[in-house]
Structure 1
């Protein structure tokens, strides 16, 4: 008989311990550095503190001197470009601030590296390790993303501004200037999201589950924030259909003013009192645009019944024609001056109407000058305008007491006189 063979089981290799993550390695490196600094003697630590102070003071002097040079350069640029548009100066200031931020970041990193070298920490070897290389990549991603965001904004604004200046149609130029901030916002948002995802990847986080969660969260937010989506889509249609552009004079919800800016969600009006009115696009149900393609100034002129209306109409026509031939105001008027005639007969005046068709946003300048000239012409031609007066009768005190005893006083009716 043969003995039953017992099956031999292969020996399983011991499980490898999990490798420490990026965060754990970073904490271990920092802890080792702190232990190394704590283990120094008093004399060595004192010398290192003095050297550290010298490095910091020298770096501060360099930063201060560079700031003075940058301020002087910006002052010269501003003086030389005093006639340049404000947006060009704003872009120059923004580029200078970004350059200054990069310079300070580079100086800070240089100071940190020198200080670590002073305290005996080999930064070159540390940066060559996996933790150091990942930190370098993170810093490069942040700097590159910031630079791309600023570069995208500058490039889009530059291109849109160039297209607007070369456009022969003023309306098209206004539409391009309106579209510029929206394109800039979209491009910068995409770059910021991509940069954030890249940073999360470098930190060792899995982006897939985060994106899946963001998708579900986006659906939930979409149901709860329908007004925001409505504002965004309404704004896109307003710009695409050229209903309103930056620089137009419009009225929305009883508020009138000049369109100062149009963002992804709101339209902003600045009225004559410098009050800023901000409307979400969803609330701009009805927009009254006074300056699209052309503008019009409608003059309503009341005159007295005692005047010769034919003569009055001739005077109004003469004043309007003279204004159209004026060297300053003539280019603002695009069509012949129109006297519409008698509009209505009121109790104390005959109301006449006349109209100017002007270049957009110039109707008020034309109307003010027309009113000034018309007043002078009426004075010269002795044309009467209605003036409502209320007569006041003075009574002796005894008569007032007697009238009060007999009954309530009767107020004399209002009369209308002409001057």
Structure 2
């Protein structure tokens, strides 16, 4: 075997060793990723079981508070494990911790703005939690976006609106919050009757409906009460009914009130207004009403 053949053989051996080294490192990275995923899954399950027990305990957290803390801790767990995983993988690739820190310091200048936003989101998230501005399950309006809170995470808050759209809002951008789930809510129903009908009779019929509703619905805190005639429109007189209900129960009460009032008015032959149009026939001088 000549010297040229020996050089080729040595090159092949070097490439073979390099390939084995890369394969081992790739296998280690895959194992690290699997371990991280398993730890996150197990940790999330433990957190969920803990807070489920808290919700059932007399001295534990209420349901909304427990769900909020559960989602927050899961979010923190994910971020911590992602960081550990990245550091572990960099070490497998041959980068020492000192090198990683040095590179991170240099890169920190370039991503400083992003890091500032991240820190702002995290700090805002903690303030939202500790000030109890809202919790998972609350119906809120945040800067013009409304929906039920699905997640209060370390960095973002997720809202699900009635159409099913999911709004993801960075915590640091939240300026104004309207929580519609705290305290009693107002149920409001407007009923317009025709001008030809007896308003006093209609009001008495609505009052009877209100009394029955109050007895049957535990979620009604106060009322329903007839405020009186609040408007005269092109079609008729508007009678307003209001009630106070438990949080998030107002819509159901409003729909039931409308249905019952409509049935009661129909039974007593109180007509709701129908839009009318007057057509003038100038040629014949006749008037037709439709």
Same fold (TM over 0.5): yes
Please give the alpha-carbon distance, in whole angstroms, between the structure 2 residues aligned to 1:151 and 1:373: 51
Among 368, 385, 388, the alignment partner of 2:255 is 368
Aligned length: 274
For residue 207 of structure 1, report the CA deviation from its aligned partner.
Answer: 0.4
Please give the alpha-carbon distance, in whole angstroms, between the structure 2 residues aligned to 1:332 and 1:181: 29
Partner of 2:46: 155
Is the partner of 2:111 in helix, strand or coil?
A: helix
- Confirm whether residue 291 of structure 1 aligns to residue 178 of structure 2: no
Question: Contact conserved, 1:234 with 1:281, CA < 8 A, in 2?
Answer: yes
Larger Rg: 1
Unaligned runs of 5+ in 2: 1-12
Is the partner of 2:218 in helix, strand or coil?
A: helix
For residue 247 of structure 1, report the CA deviation from its aligned partner.
Answer: 2.3
Where does 1:167-316 land on structure 2 (aligned, <5 Å)? 172-201=62-91, 204-218=94-108, 220-316=110-206
Stretch deviating more after TM superposition (384-393 or 373-382):
384-393
CA-atom RMSD in angstroms: 3.9
Please give the alpha-carbon distance, in whole angstroms, between the structure 1 residues aligned to 2:26 and 2:147: 51
For residue 190 of structure 1, report the CA deviation from its aligned partner.
Answer: 1.6
Is the partner of 1:387 in helix, strand or coil?
A: coil
Please give the alpha-carbon distance, in whole angstroms, between the structure 2 residues aligned to 1:373 and 1:308: 19
Please give the alpha-carbon distance, in whole angstroms, between the structure 2 residues aligned to 1:353 and 1:299: 6
**Higher strand content, 1 or 2:** 2
Partner of 1:46: none
Structure 1 length-normalised TM: 0.54
For residue 210 of structure 1, report the CA deviation from its aligned partner.
Answer: 1.6
Among 216, 219, 229, the alignment partner of 1:342 is 229
Unaligned runs of 5+ in 1: 1-26, 35-131, 404-411
Please give the alpha-carbon distance, in whole angstroms, between the structure 2 residues aligned to 1:153 and 1:342: 56
Is the partner of 2:274 in helix, strand or coil?
A: strand
1:77-122: per-residue Cα shift (whole Å, max 9, x none)?
A: xxxxxxxxxxxxxxxxxxxxxxxxxxxxxxxxxxxxxxxxxxxxxx
Is the partner of 1:357 in helix, strand or coil?
A: strand
Question: Contact conserved, 1:149 with 1:192, CA < 8 A, in 2?
Answer: no
Is the partner of 1:386 in helix, strand or coil?
A: coil
Question: Contact conserved, 2:223 with 2:242, CA < 8 A, in 1?
Answer: no
Question: Contact conserved, 1:301 with 1:351, CA < 8 A, in 2?
Answer: yes
Structure 2 length-normalised TM: 0.74
Question: Contact conserved, 2:139 with 2:149, CA < 8 A, in 1?
Answer: yes
Please give the alpha-carbon distance, in whole angstroms, between the structure 2 residues aligned to 1:195 and 1:321: 63
Please give the alpha-carbon distance, in whole angstroms, between the structure 2 residues aligned to 1:212 and 1:150: 32
Partner of 1:385: 272
